[in-house]
Chains A and B, each alone.
Chain A
Amino acid sequence: MLNTRVIESVTIPLAALLVSGLVFSVFLLILGKSPATFASLVWTGGFSSWFSIQNALQRAAPLILTGLAFAIPARIGLTLLGAEGAVVIGGFSAAVVAIPLVTAGMPAAFVWLVMASAAMVVGAVWVGLAGWLKHHRGVNETISSLLLTYIAIAIVSFLIEGPFRDPGSANKPSTMPLGTDYRIGGMFDSSVHWGLAAGLVLAVALWVLMARTPFGFAARMTGGNLRAAQGQGLPVGRLLVACCAIAGACAGIVGFFEIAAIHGQANASLAAGYGFTGILVAFLARHNPLAVVPVAILFGALDAAGGLIQRRMEMPDATMLVLQGIIFVVLLISDTFHGRLPFGTSQRTGART
């Protein structure tokens, strides 16, 4: 049903994107660069050819999952910044559990299953911890999840440089490489790995979970009014922890694919910032699991075009970060316009006596 709220949730983020584009154009003009060139390069690098589309989709896959990792807790009222940590620690766990299995020559499908499960479980526990601290100890979940991210990165880098370091990795400390037999290839002869499929399936599954199941309904109640949810006898603490755990599992899968499809071993490259870009994706998608997909693809395309822009326009690689930052700030400001647009003010009904 198309009501004013749906219209708002589409037009406001789109308007925010447009405004961000204008602000970024001003930024480019100040630098003496042409915004038109920038736009055409984004098109060339992100969408114009099969090659660039593959490139964009490949980068979109982790963003879908980290976007979900922010969007699901957001529905229950939590602002979690812990996805990055779960990506790193989940990916590391996947790489580590694979070592004995690979050494024993287990079949690849089985190894992937174990690796993915390990990544999800560890990610879920890691982020679930933030939810547990929130409910039982009243610790602010935004702070705790952000700090947990740094702890995760530190633990992982300690372990990679210490006990789990592959002696062969001289320049860049890494775990033992998986070997080509255990690498996940592209889908259907493309360079896009199966993480995209996982992201799409999870986006649909989590949309169904949040919109069509009692669990999702209870989570939305809790997010909308904690006291009312308590008054209805809902297990608020368990719901909070469950939503955090789902988020951690989503982020953990990103780590798994980074290991099994991209790097083949765990190293510092795991902390690539997908967890943080996912926050931006989720905000732009207004925490709707289905809307996360197109937004993630857009950001994947921007990311894919980044290298091209760097070369052709002679701009530093931080340029794309500036654009992301501008989008985020404009988006946060645009959030305050919900319910205040002239066409969005629904008439109050009933007798105002």
Chain B
Amino acid sequence: MTPATLSGISQHPDRAMSLSTQQMTKSFGALCALDHVSLNVAAGSFHALLGENGAGKSTLVKCIMGFYAADAGAIILDGQRVAMDSPRQAQMRGIGMVYQHFTLVPCLTAAENLVIARPDAPGIIHWRTELRRLEAFMDRMPFRVSLNRHVADLSAGERQKLEILKLLYLDQRVLILDEPTSVMTPSEADEVLTLLGGMAQRGEITVLMISHKFREVKAFCDSFTVLRHGRVTGTGSARSATIDEMSHMMVGETRLRARAPRKSRPVAQPAPLPRLTLDAICADDQTGRRVVDNVTLDIYPGEIVGLAGVSGNGQSALVEILSGQRPLAGGRLLIGGKPFSPCRTDLDRYKVFGLPEEPMRNAVVPRMSVAENMAFRSFDKPPIMSRTGFISPSRMRAIAEQLIARYNVQTASADAAIETLSGGNVQRAILARELSGQVEVLIVANPCFGLDFASVAEIRAQIMDQRNRGAAVLLVSEDLDEVLDLSDRVGVMSAGKLAAVIPTSDTSRAQIGKQMGGAELKPDIRHPGDSHARVS
């Protein structure tokens, strides 16, 4: 690649550079996020940065990018000690980053996004010349994104590709990618990583990738570094290290709670009635676009039905319908054959509970206390509400304190605002609220997003426990492993439609991956004896 367009402003050589940090330390108040972290990324290598949530990965790359000033330590770029005071400086030195949140402007085209990202973008842009140059640039690139389409119309995977192309267009020679494949289909992810790996191998770029996925690290990376609690706990060659070794470095000596055993369902004679039925339900977004399209699904007592899919294919909208956050545009909801609407009386009558995604947005009121948040299901019933119709704060607190102890929620007191709790403890408080009584129907969406290993195991065990006790569970997750691990039957949502729901044992990662990308399911895959599976 011969970057001609931007050579005038870059202060770095036209080849891959090495990047390392020496003894980086960064504290936030009492929390030591980075503790003497030394990272070595050789020029032209594809390096993985592994670690649990909160291990310090993001803090480390933000220090490298100049977002944070490290308390101590040095950044060595291509053998020279450099100071990074701002992301702009990092960009000038040739370090670019793709963030977890998109930084593209949705109402502009791909070409416009690329041009405005340039630090030397002229005041008056001569579009014909720019487009010609962009076309030439795209021809040199290993993957393409249509230049004239608006970013809003691109799929999440395409946007992520465009983000990476933006860095290459800006002639960045060290690419830092923060979980780049979380919004891509498995095949898209493989394509992009293969191509980036090829560029690294040819010595054009150096890649530092934050990842959670051991599979990707094993398949595409050369070397890796593991962080835990702000310290480096291991480093080595991604080719020779085993997944067990890497995961041990990530979680340390913490014993993971054993997975809740899956009890086999007693063969009911005759076949039980479905507990929760979605009957041809539809929903639209604000602009009137159909986001849930004629989805039909039966969920039986004592089973978990998992819905996989790339985010933005209608799963969130489906959960919103079931949570009363989005009106039904068509179809019906039934519980035990009776009509159900997600209002309070029906939720109580049918014992419907939920663990929604993004708890801070969907499940708690951040400024209310832990005790109040734990009383959301019970504030209008005895014992919290007295016979005269008044709420007793003391009884509310007493009940909350029992739940806090039982579910091991770490909080200063029951009166502390729930926003002061860490993510895992917020989720535990919600588990306590939703799962401490009898549960008939459970709606779960991305329950473990952003949580550490120990919390993840605990929450999955709780969900499995509810299934074993006979609840009908709908699990919507972007984490395919989670879906395959927990579900009895799986379905894939793509473009608002639900493909056939089939027993987990009859499918495979590859098969589901294909469907996530929108491929049709081959008819012979459907299990002949499975009466539950329906094609929408």
A233-B342, A235-B343 as given contacts; A350 in contact with B424, CB under 8 Å: yes
Instruction: Flag if A213 contacts B411 (CB, 8 Å).
Output: no
Instruction: Flag if B344 contacts A235 (CB, 8 Å).
Output: yes
Chain B residue at smallest Cβ distance from A222: B365
Q: In the complex, A227→B362 CA distance in Å? A: 5
Q: Please give, as numbers and ranges, the residues of chain A lying within 8 Å of B410 by CB-CB distance.
A: 349-351
Q: Please give, as numbers and ranges, the residues of chain A lying within 8 Å of B356 by CB-CB distance.
A: 231
Chain A contacts with B in 203-219, Cβ cutoff 8 A: 208, 212-214, 217-218
Tally of A interface residues using CB under 8 Å: 30
User: B475 → chain A, closest Cβ, in Å?
Assistant: 17
* B485 adjacent to chain A (CB < 8 Å): no
Per-residue contact bits, chain A 11-25, to B (CB 8 Å; 1 contact, 0 not): 000000000000000
* A103 adjacent to chain B (CB < 8 Å): no
Q: Which of B12-20, B383-391, B492-500, B528-536 contacts A (4 or more CB under 8 A)?
A: B383-391
Q: Which of B91-99, B105-113, B371-379 contacts A (4 or more CB under 8 A)?
A: B371-379
Chain A contacts with B in 200-252, Cβ cutoff 8 A: 208, 212-214, 217-218, 220-221, 224-225, 227-235
User: B84 → chain A, closest Cβ, in Å?
Assistant: 25
Interface size class of B (residues with CB under 8 A): 35 or more
Instruction: Flag if A214 contacts B325 (CB, 8 Å).
Output: no
Instruction: Flag if A346 contacts B416 (CB, 8 Å).
Output: yes
Q: In the complex, A351→B228 CA distance in Å? A: 13
A348-B422, A349-B420, A353-B52 as given contacts; A233 in contact with B344, CB under 8 Å: yes
Instruction: Flag if B412 contacts A346 (CB, 8 Å).
Output: yes
Q: Please give, as numbers and ranges, the residues of chain B lying within 8 Å of A352 by CB-CB distance.
A: 31, 54, 422
A349-B411, A352-B422 as given contacts; A232 in contact with B344, CB under 8 Å: yes
Per-residue contact bits, chain B 391-421, to A (CB 8 Å; 1 contact, 0 not): 1010000000000000001111001110011
Instruction: Flag if B362 contacts A232 (CB, 8 Å).
Output: no
Q: In the complex, A218→B380 CA distance in Å? A: 9
Q: Please give, as numbers and ranges, the residues of chain B lying within 8 Å of A231 by CB-CB distance.
A: 323-325, 354, 356, 362-363
A217-B391, A221-B368, A221-B376 as given contacts; A349 in contact with B415, CB under 8 Å: no
Chain A contacts with B in 335-353, Cβ cutoff 8 A: 346-353
> Contact check: which of A5, A218, A228, A351 meets B422 at CB < 8 Å?
A351
User: A46 → chain B, closest Cβ, in Å?
Assistant: 35
Q: In the complex, A234→B372 CA distance in Å? A: 15
Q: Please give, as numbers and ranges, the residues of chain A lying within 8 Å of B416 by CB-CB distance.
A: 346, 349
Chain A residue at smallest Cβ distance from B391: A212
* A109 adjacent to chain B (CB < 8 Å): no
Q: Please give, as numbers and ranges, the residues of chain B lying within 8 Å of A213 by CB-CB distance.
A: 389-391
Instruction: Flag if A347 contacts B412 (CB, 8 Å).
Output: yes
* B347 adjacent to chain A (CB < 8 Å): yes
Q: Which 4 A-B pairs have the closest CB atoms?
A: A224-B365, A350-B410, A233-B344, A214-B380
